[in-house]
Structure 1
Amino acid sequence: MKVSVVLCTYSEDMYEHFREAAESVLEQTYDDVELMIVVDGNDELFEQVRDEYSDREDVVLHCNDENVGLLESRNTGAELATGDVVAFIDDDAVADKEWVEELVESYEKHDALAAGGKMTPEWVAGKPAFLPEEFYWLVGVTHRGFADGPGWVRNTFGSNISFRADVFEELGGFDVEIGGRQGDANLQGGETELCARLASEWDERVWYNPDAEVAHKIFDYRTDPKWLVDRAFWQGYSKRAMSQLVEEGGDQEGAFLRQLLLDFVPQRSVSLVRQPSWTQFEQLVMLVVFTAAVGFGFLYGMVRY
């Protein structure tokens, strides 16, 4: 089974991070891997990438004529790919050496049509003490409560997800209007919408393999409380919008919210009473703040949609 990994990039400022992501794919324990590098409308960056990777037989290079965004760039990479499976990783992520091997095992053992893995945090700017694990999804990391272990889920994160190439093609790839639908640049969740279509058209979900790990770099700006609250608001907005765009778009979030309110908040409250600490207090407060921000975003989405 050949696996094509699509890696998109667009900024010279991210070159060293992109390069680390690319090398992590090229150094996989699984042999039959093809790296698809798509530069999104930056000729100078493409020259730099071509100078470094054009002599690699396991690398395919492409530069878009103009900046078209991540989802369309990913679709382009998938169209050029020759693998049986097409996987996606971001230029601020680093794959574990056994990432592809674990994904392939997911397809072979579970006859999956799509598979993804766990996103782990790489705290570039240091781990913020106030950020509760229940809201790690705000920074693109698998959060507490996502899944108890391997199993079927609606979708995994966009930087650690894969599809059988024929299934991806038949689904038509990512909807490039996500993020720009109705002139709304804040709508997020391209992988959510695609996986919802997978469930609707193929009656299939995504196999989650927590051993298929990808580390996500958390830069300084992503640890700013104001940025995180703003992110939570627009995530709530996106979840409402997604529930209107796809069937059962909010089921996974609804289950998480119930778990958050009925399990995690009470557990943290009891723990704070038994073993008081400033860190536990901060995390409990931020748990409430982030939940409220998501809720306000969801309500705003109800008005818009």
Structure 2
Amino acid sequence: MADPFISVVVSAYSMERYTDLLSLIDSLKSQAYTNFEVILVIEKSSQLFSNLNRCLSQHPYSRNFKLFFNDGLPGLASARNLGVEKSQGEIIAFIDDDAAASPEWLGCIACCFREDKKIIGLTGPALPWWEHPGLSWFPAEFNWVISTMPCLPRSRGYIRNAWGTNMAFRRQAFSNGQGFDTELGAKGGGKKGKSELVGEDTEFCLRICRQSGLNILYAPEVKVMHRVYRYRLKPGFIAKRAYWEGYTKAVFKYRLGKETSGAGVLSEELGLLRRIFLRLLPLSLLNLPLKPRRSALTILTTLNILGSTGWGYIRGMASARFISVKEAVNA
């Protein structure tokens, strides 16, 4: 069977990440797999667009790279939808602009789709790439706060949803013009953090699996590294990110629960919550005399995240119900 043509969609919006974006491009041009194209979608920053255009034009590998500017609705979901529209691949892969792919990344993606006809999408590890080694105290249970995967599975298996930092889908997932929900997803918060509904990747996976009857595969060999900057571990940034995660999951639970009888909508979150209360917190308390600084940071961060997520969840449920009642009254 011939190697499938893969389109890699990357979106970027800030000159602050220009160096990171060049590192990602280097990792993509170093792929062992050669049957691919890269769709780069830039928004907000005309300087980033012009600098990248100039850089690509000076290199022979630029024939595999296509550059576009998103002058429509801003945001990650919208930029990725534009990338899908401009792509030609049988498989469409996504990676963040501040990540880097392993040399076998695309080859492993192609192999997974060839071997398993029961999948419509897949994801793999997004491993923390710490700006400084001193940041690695951060608990793995909360890696979702820093856009990496929490508590990675040890083997292949079907899971609920892919992670936006590292995911790929068959083109049929985007058939009939459906794509990522533009009401969800980051709008470019940067160091200020996100202040909007997140989870466009989760909602998309739930929707396409329900419609197609196919699965999302977790493949541990499909690896990327994702940069973790110092500012992402500041208490205020963490609290804002956790709040909007809780808010979004409440909206998912309320809206999708009615379609699926609530089955599995928050199954992974509940499993992670059990791990936090039954393992992370007890071990941190036990280690407090032996590793006081690390244990204290873990406990305080846990309380910050649980409190912020819980408050966001309460606000999200209240908002979803209010909107539902308002729509019913106006119907």
Aligned counterpart in structure 2 of residue 276 of structure 1, from 260, 284, 290? 290
- Check the 8 A contact 1:6/1:77 in 2, yes or no: yes
Deviates more, 1:288-297 or 1:20-29: 288-297
SS at match of 2:47: helix
Report deviation, 1:126.
4.0
Unpaired runs of 5+ in structure 2?
Answer: 187-193, 258-263, 321-331
1:159 is matched with 165
> Is the contact between residue 42 and residue 66 of structure 1 (CA under 8 Å) also seen in structure 2?
no
For 2:90 and 2:67, locate their aligned partners in 1 and report how far apart those are by CA, in whole Å: 19
Counterparts of 1:104-123 in structure 2 under 5 Å?
104-111=110-117, 112-123=119-130
Q: 1:85 aligns with which of 91, 101, 113?
A: 91
Q: CA offset at residue 88 of structure 1?
A: 0.6
For residue 169 of structure 1, report the CA deviation from its aligned partner. Answer: 2.9
Aligned counterpart, 1:76: 82
Q: What letter matches 2:206 in structure 1? A: A
1:233, distance to aligned residue in structure 2 (A): 1.9
* Structure 2 counterparts to residues 137-286 of structure 1, below 5 A: 137-144=144-151, 146-170=152-176, 172-179=178-185, 185-247=195-257, 248-269=264-285, 271-272=286-287, 276-278=290-292, 279-286=294-301
Query: 1:197·1:246 contact (CA, 8 Å) conserved in 2?
Result: no
Change in Cα spacing, 1:220 to 1:264, as seen in structure 2 (3 Å) is: closer
Contact 1:117-1:208 at 8 Å conserved across structures: yes
| 1:252 positional shift | 1.9
Q: Does 1:13 align with 2:28?
A: no
Q: Distance in 2 between the 1:43 and 1:265 partners?
A: 46
The alpha-carbon deviation at position 64 of structure 1 amounts to 2.2
- Measured in 2, the distance between the counterparts of 1:124 and 1:102 equals 27
Whole-angstrom CA distance in 2 between matches of 1:220 and 1:6 = 26
Counterparts of 2:72 and 2:172 in 1: how far apart (Å)?
Answer: 27
| Separation of aligned partners in 2, 1:171 and 1:198 | 12
Indicate if the aligned counterparts of 1:98 and 1:212 stay in contact, CA closer than 8 A.
yes
> For 1:62, which of 62, 68, 89 is the aligned residue?
68
Give the alignment partner of residue 304 of structure 2, picking from 265, 278, 289: 289
Tell me how many residue pairs correspond in the alignment: 299
Q: For residue 323 of structure 2, what is the aligned residue in structure 1?
A: none
Task: Report if aligned partners of 1:153, 1:206 keep a CA contact under 8 Å in 2.
Answer: yes
What runs of 5+ residues in structure 1 fail to find an aligned partner? none
| CA RMSD, 1 decimal | 2.3
Residue 25 of structure 1 contacts residue 95 of structure 1 at CA under 8 Å; is this kept in 2? yes
Structure 2 contact 24–98 (Cα < 8 Å) conserved? yes
**Structure-1 separation of matches of 2:297 and 2:69:** 45
Counterparts of 2:255 and 2:27, CA distance in 1: 35
Distance 1:204 1:262, change over 3 A: farther
Equivalent residue of 1:101, what SS?
Answer: helix
TM-score computed with the length of structure 2 as normaliser: 0.83
- d(CA) in 2 for partners of 1:185, 1:86: 28
Identity fraction in percent: 27
TM-score of the two chains, using structure 1 as the length reference: 0.89
Aligned CA distance change for structure 1 residues 259 and 13 (closer, same or farther; 3 Å): closer
Query: What CA distance in whole angstroms lies between the structure 2 residues aligned with 1:20 and 1:185?
Result: 28
Does the 8 Å contact 1:118/1:212 carry over to 2?
Answer: yes
Shift of 1:154: 1.2
Say which SS state the counterpart of residue 79 (structure 1) adopts. helix
Equivalent-residue separation in structure 1 for 2:136 and 2:39 (angstroms): 37
